[in-house]
Structure formats: structure tokens, C-alpha cells
Amino acid sequence: MPQGHPTTIPSLGITGSLSAGAMNLAVGLGGSHLLGRAHGDLPLNIRCPQLQIFLGYTKAGSVFVFGNTLVEEVFAFQSLPIIVFFSCVMSILYYLGAMQWLILKIDAASLIAASVMAAPCALAMSKLVYPEVEESKFKGKESVHIASGEEQNVLEAASSGAAASVGLVANIAANLIAFLAVLEFINAALLWFGEMVNIKDLSFQMICSYVLMPVAFLMGADWADSPVVAELLGIKIFLNEFVAYQQLATYKKNRLDGLEEWNGGQKQWISERAETITTFALCGFANISSIGIMLGGLTSLVPHRKSDFASIVLRALLTGICVSMLNSCLAGLMYVPTEVSDCVTFFGTANFTSTSYPIYTCCKQLFARWVCGRATGRVWSCRVLPGDPCAWGWQTGLGWDWLVELARM
């Protein structure tokens, strides 16, 4: 009888509880921290400022080796050196015995509970996909043995840790280069083929937007937003989450800048709820490029189990994708919309010299409410003028006060 099922239901329950807490935190913070204000950055400083400061020390070494310009502007020189620094620190801690002391001092039950709290949904899905059919060998700490490092001093431990990370860093960089190049080639080939059969702008992203559209809709996105969400899911699965988050950040920036939702037949942004769902769906390393990274990293640790890793790597990929999608479903279920509560007050203090999403939202609500309606014999219109997304026009020749008066009616 598989032993994984007793763990599955509690894990899913914890996942739901954590989702509710996370969404309440997002609402308490103003709902603007899931993607950052204009970029796709997660709020690391909110959750753990000390960790952000500690990892920020990586910049000193990176700037000295690569120069400030590369570190500030190039992704590879921002993120990948963190792996080298972290590996170096962990090697020192293992040499000093700090990590062994910390791990063995923690009660085994508490350690399992902490693991469940860290990734409850991943635990539940892994038990369903790959259930335990035998009694685990690692129920207690008697069977857990952690060896100390073989280095002679702290300097050797630091050097060994940094050198050990080079393979992983090179693997990640090589996969990013290869898959981005392959995607560009595929898009060029699809564009050529599309022109041959009279399909305009055919691309891998367009194909994903149609194939994965039902999946995006089932996760909770509106049908109008589903093509964009599906496109981002395709980029995340077949490329990586970094590229997908950059594209999502562009959509969010367009929304916050007050651009029209549609530009011809092209959607320029998606709703806040769809942004939240997509943020959770993209959060994870389950993508095609990570297969090579995982195989290379795990095989270097346990070379004699390479065939075992290769046999379950695709199953692990699908499990990781399902975990992200399940979390996004819960995020959409727990989502609380953040809207302008009082358009009258907002219009009385708004700055109409620049565009913003609240202006767009309030005017859209008023236009939907009063289109074809009449006030003192005049037909009111609230629309974005073509060519200038910040210019809100009216047909009566009155000033901006008409918006306040209309909102009061």
C-alpha cells in the first residue's frame, strides 16, 4: 500500500492556508508588491531584508571582476555570481561544522514540518506522482550521517566552495544561451512558414497562446486575458521564468501607465487578477532548460544514480508545472481586487497631465454606466483619444469638473 497519501491531504490543506495568508499580506501591502512597481522583481526586502543585504555583498566581487556596467545591466553578471558566493559561504560553514550542528540539533519531526511549510504543494504532488511503497529509511536521525569537509583550513574551504559552483553556473548560463538561441531560430522558421501559408506573425508564443489557452482559463484567468497568460506559460515552460517575468512586467507597466487595454487586435495589458494568477503560475524552475541543469547538478553529486535521475526527470518536470498551476488556482481563488473606492474624491485630486490606471478604471466605469445617457440635455463621453493615451476628452466643452459631477450622479 503506498504511504504517500496520508501526507497529501494535510499538505494541500497547508497550501490553501498559506495561500490565504500570502494574499492577505499582498492586500495589506497595497497589492503592488507581487511584481514590483514597474519590473518583475519579487519583494525580497519585505520578507527578509537581512538576506538581501547578505547576498548583496556579492556585488563587491562581481564589480571588481566584471566592472560596474556589466553588473548593473547584464542579467548573467547580476544573478549567477550569487551562486558562487553562496556556495563559498556554505562550504566554510560545513568546514567549521556549523551546518552539521544546526541540522542535527533540529528535531527530525520539526525538520519535516519545516519542509512541509516550505513547499507543501510540491510535497503533496510528489507523493501522488511518485508514492512511497516501502518504509522510508530516513524517518529518524539515526540513519542520517553528515560528513565534515576534507579541507585543511577555512581558506581552502572557501576556495573549494567557489570552485564547486563553477560547473553549476556554467550549466545555467549555457542552457540560457542555448534555449534563447533555439527559440529565436524556431520563431524565424515559423515566421517564414506563416508567410508561406498567409498566417501573419506566426511564432512559438502565438502557438502557445492557443494551445494553453484552456489551461489559463481553467486556472481562473478571464477568457480575454487567457491568450496572454497562455503565452507567458509557454515561455516559462519551454524557455524559462526569467524571460516570462520580464514580459509580464511589460504588461503590468502598460497597465499602470494607463494605456488602453486594446491596441487594434493586440492586448496591451491584462487585469490585476490575471497578473496575480500568472505571477504564481510562473514562479518555479519547472521548465525544459532546467532538465539539463538538474541532471548535470545531481549527477555530479551522485554519479552512479544518473540513470535513475534520467528516468524520472520528465515526471518531475510535469509535477513542478502542476504545482505552480495549483498554487496559481488558489491565488486566483483568494484574490481580493484593489480598486478606487471613491471616484468622486479621486477625480477631485487627480493629476490629469499624466496617465494612470486609476484614471482609466474610473473613467471606464463611468463610461460603461452612462454611455448613451444624458445629463442636462448633453451626451457625456469618457474615452481615450487616439494617439495620446493620457488625453481624456469630452463632448460638451466643459473642464475636468464634469468628471466629478458625473461621478456624483
- Average pLDDT over all residues of the chain: 70
Is residue 73 predicted with pLDDT exceeding 90?
no
Per-residue pLDDT at 223:
92
Per-residue pLDDT at 355:
63
Q: Which residue has the higher pLDDT, 89 or 102?
A: 89
Question: From CA 95, how far away is CA 89, in angstroms rounded?
Answer: 10
Q: Mean pLDDT throughout 327-352?
A: 70
Is residue 336 predicted with pLDDT exceeding 50?
yes
- Are 407 and 344 contacting, i.e. CB atoms less than 8 angstroms apart? yes
Question: From CA 266, how far away is CA 289, in angstroms rounded?
Answer: 29
Phi, psi angles (nearest 5°) of residue 393: -110, 170
User: What's the pLDDT tens digit per position in 21-41?
Assistant: 444 444 343 333 333 333 334
- Which residue in the block uniquely carries the three cell numbers 579541507? 151
Provide the angle, in degrees to the nearest 10, between the axes of the packed helices 241-256 and 272-282.
170
User: What's the pLDDT tens digit per position in 94-114?
Assistant: 777 776 666 555 444 444 444
Domain range annotation of the chain: 203-337, 343-408
Sequence-ordered list of residues with C-beta below 8 angstroms from that of 203, at least 6 positions apart, any chain:
187, 190, 191
Question: From CA 188, how far away is CA 328, in angstroms rounded?
Answer: 32
Highest averaged pLDDT of the listed ranges 246-255, 287-296, 328-337, 371-380: 246-255
**Band (151; pLDDT cuts 50, 70, 90):** low
Q: How many CB atoms lie within 10 A of CB 195?
A: 12
- Which residue in the block uniquely carries the three cell numbers 532548460? 289
Q: Mean pLDDT throughout 345-355?
A: 61
Is residue 333 predicted with pLDDT exceeding 60?
yes
- Are 353 and 291 contacting, i.e. CB atoms less than 8 angstroms apart? no
Per-residue pLDDT at 117:
42
3-state SS record for the chain: CCCCHHHHHHHHHHHHHHHHHHHHHHHHCCCCCCCCCCCCCCCHHHHCHHHHHHHHCHHHHHHHHHCHHHHHHCHHHHHHHHHHHHHHHHHHHHHHCHHHHHHHHCCHHHHHHHHHHHCHHHHHHHHHHCCCCCCCCCCCHHHCCCCCCCCCCHHHHHHHHHHHHHHHHHHHHHHHHHHHHHHHHHHHHHHHHHHHCCCCCCCHHHHHHHHCHHHHHHHCCCCCCHHHHHHHHHHHHHCCHHHHHHHHHHHHHHHHCCCCCEECCEECCCCHHHHHHHHHHHCCCCCHHHHHHHHHHHHHHCHHHHHHHHHHHHHHHHHHHHHHHHHHHHHHHHCCCCCCCCHHHHHHHCCCCCCCHHHHHHHHHHHHHHCCCEECCEECCCEECCCCCCCEECCCCCCCHHHHHHHHC
Per-residue pLDDT at 230:
94
Is residue 377 predicted with pLDDT exceeding 60?
no
Per-residue pLDDT at 149:
60
Side-chain-facing half-sphere of 387: CA atoms under 13 Å: 0
The amino acid occupying position 105 is K
Phi, psi angles (nearest 5°) of residue 374: -125, 140
Provide the angle, in degrees to the nearest 10, between the axes of the packed helices 154-196 and 288-301.
150
Q: Mean pLDDT throughout 316-341?
A: 81
Highest averaged pLDDT of the listed ranges 75-79, 306-310, 337-341, 398-402: 306-310
Question: From CA 247, how far away is CA 254, in angstroms rounded?
Answer: 11
